A and B are shown apart, each in its own frame.
Chain A
Amino acid sequence: MTTAKTKTRLNIGHEPKAFEKKNVWNVEEITALLDEENGTLDPRIYSDQDLYELEQERVFGRSWIMLGHEAHVPKAGDFLTAYMGEDPVILVRQKDRSLKVFLNQCPHRGMRICRTDGGNAKSFTCSYHGWAYDIGGNLVNVPYESEAFCEDFNKAEWGPGQARVETYKGLIFANWDKNAPNLREYLGDATFYMDHMLDRTEAGTEVISGMQKWVIPCNWKFAAEQFCSDMYHAGTVSHLSGIEAGLPEGMELSDAKIPTVGYQFRAKWGGHGTGFYVGEPGMLVAIMGPKIAKYWTEGEAAARAERRLGSAERARQLMVQHMTVFPTCSFLPGINTVRTWQPRGPNETEIWAFTVVDADAPDEIKEEYRRQTLRTFSAGGVFEQDDGENWVEIQAVLRGHQARKRRLNIQMGKGRSAADNPHYPGSIGYVYNEEAARGLYHQWIRMMTEPDWDTLGPK
């Protein structure tokens, strides 16, 4: 008598039907963390370990996460190791010029497949037992495969998980969720404002080589929120000493006039936000020096940007623009620092920053961007210190029970933004505003509570 050998289906990971992570916070409790109507926010969003773990699945597992610039990986085999939330990934340029992003984890015993920051590879080999992958993330070699593994072992089933990859004008984004909208749809009306930095010339942008990485003890949302929504700190006290200390020769503090005109944008959908002053280039001169201010506002490059953007105001007169693409891609057009805020627990963030420049900018301007972004926004940058100091202190304060009990004020500009500006898309309000921050947290709460893209997607 023979028994037919029944083949059981191999269980390699799974497609969850609903949220996986056991929820100690119910939907009502998470929704109550932000009261948009009254403008209050529960500070536990920055400190709670359980919320943090939900975020990994619900926000970082489903959003488009920026990993780097196309110029980081120009040739076939060029790669960067990066993170989507706490998940390590490898980003690799393929022979057909496409990009792949896959989990930097060997599915055998869980070891990191690639242990360096970046470079050029013909293959990736796990340093534990030697399982080897091609640059597309396909498992191509298993030592002692025929001698030691079972008959139904199939290498095709044992590659690391692949993410979706799409680019917007040089920036590379990845997403684990196959049901998420495509990147363009996800960015929506935010692209209009991204173009102020990314689309000033038909040559596009390139990166000044190198990626700076450093760790600060605070929650990632302080940084993401500030770049999304907070011009207030720049117009009040945070950066005054930095500006004063770094004034270019011959410039008086009174020349670095803080403009009074400016706007803030809250994306119609998606939690993206930006803000900028209009006119008065003094602030840009004070931060980046006269050479860059001149390049940005006058001359051939500025004229070309004006033609491409179809607006002299957008090309030459928007000053000190700050921006966040939800959740963690932030940048400052004009200053041209680009960064991601990589969560490392509720109390820690790893900042990965690089600088972009117009690809056809003169070498002298590229060098000046390198010097000035190092001086202002980098691990040792003077303005970076001002920002970090505030975020880190707030995080330290939030160790206190009383400090976590009291809801924070997020009322600025409440009810004053409108989607009827003839020149700027989205919901537009005055530059000193927290409407974009409310938008960021609104999106965060939706992602933390809504189980699928059927309801989450842009309508």
Chain B
Amino acid sequence: MRVELFDEPIALFNLDGEILATQDRCTHGDWSLADGFLENGVIECTLHWGKFCVRTGKVKAPPACAALTVYPVKVEGNDVYVDFESGKVND
């Protein structure tokens, strides 16, 4: 799902119960990754079919070539906390 709280919207993913967060904007075509297809931990953008690993943010398919920013996530009960200060790009 897409969450818009700050300047940069983030996408939250649920991988069999594990919650992960990345920047929502595709690094290739400025499009919401939350609209994409999630399969085996890889999100595919609907616009030009670039793919990213939602755990590491790394590119899995062109035409994307820049990795996503990934954010640490902590889950407490029903609340999801995302550490926006510690977002990082794994090159």
Tell me the A residues contacting B by CB distance below 8 Å: 121-123, 125, 130, 132, 140-141, 143
Shortest beta-carbon distance from A132 to chain B in Å: 5
User: Are the C-beta atoms of A141 and B46 separated by less than 8 Å?
Assistant: no
User: Are the C-beta atoms of A143 and B63 separated by less than 8 Å?
Assistant: yes
Interface hits, B10-33 → A, CB 8 Å = 29-31
Q: Say whether chain B's binding surface is mostly helix, strand, loop, or mixed.
A: loop
User: Are the C-beta atoms of B35 and A122 separated by less than 8 Å?
Assistant: yes
Q: Say whether chain A's binding surface is mostly helix, strand, loop, or mixed.
A: loop
User: Are the C-beta atoms of B46 and A122 separated by less than 8 Å?
Assistant: yes
Besides the known contacts A141-B48, A143-B29, 11 further A-B residue pairs in the complex with CB atoms under 8 A apart:
A121-B46, A122-B35, A122-B46, A123-B31, A123-B46, A123-B47, A125-B46, A125-B47, A130-B63, A132-B29, A141-B31
Shortest beta-carbon distance from B67 to chain A in Å: 19
Interface hits, B34-53 → A, CB 8 Å = 35-36, 46-49
User: Are the C-beta atoms of B48 and A132 separated by less than 8 Å?
Assistant: yes
A-B contact count (CB 8 A): 29
User: Are the C-beta atoms of B31 and A140 separated by less than 8 Å?
Assistant: yes
Residues in A neighbouring B48, C-beta threshold 8 A: 125, 130, 132, 141, 143
> In whole angstroms, what is the CA distance A183 to B36 when docked?
37
Residues in B neighbouring A130, C-beta threshold 8 A: 47-48, 63
> In whole angstroms, what is the CA distance A387 to B35 when docked?
46
Residues in A neighbouring B47, C-beta threshold 8 A: 123, 125, 130, 132, 140-141
Tell me the B residues contacting A by CB distance below 8 Å: 29-31, 35-36, 46-49, 63
User: Are the C-beta atoms of A141 and B29 separated by less than 8 Å?
Assistant: yes
Shortest beta-carbon distance from B23 to chain A in Å: 17
> In whole angstroms, what is the CA distance A130 to B63 when docked?
10
> In whole angstroms, what is the CA distance A123 to B29 when docked?
12
Shortest beta-carbon distance from B31 to chain A in Å: 7
Shortest beta-carbon distance from A408 to chain B in Å: 53
Residues in B neighbouring A141, C-beta threshold 8 A: 29-31, 47-48
Chain A, Cβ-Cβ closest to B29: A141
User: Are the C-beta atoms of B31 and A132 separated by less than 8 Å?
Assistant: yes
Chain B, Cβ-Cβ closest to A132: B47
Residues in A neighbouring B36, C-beta threshold 8 A: 122
Residues in B neighbouring A121, C-beta threshold 8 A: 46
> In whole angstroms, what is the CA distance A389 to B35 when docked?
48
Chain B, Cβ-Cβ closest to A123: B46
24 CB contacts below 8 A, A to B, read: A121-B46, A122-B35, A122-B36, A122-B46, A123-B31, A123-B35, A123-B46, A123-B47, A125-B46, A125-B47, A125-B48, A125-B49, A130-B63, A132-B29, A132-B48, A140-B31, A141-B29, A141-B30, A141-B31, A141-B47, A141-B48, A143-B29, A143-B48, A143-B63
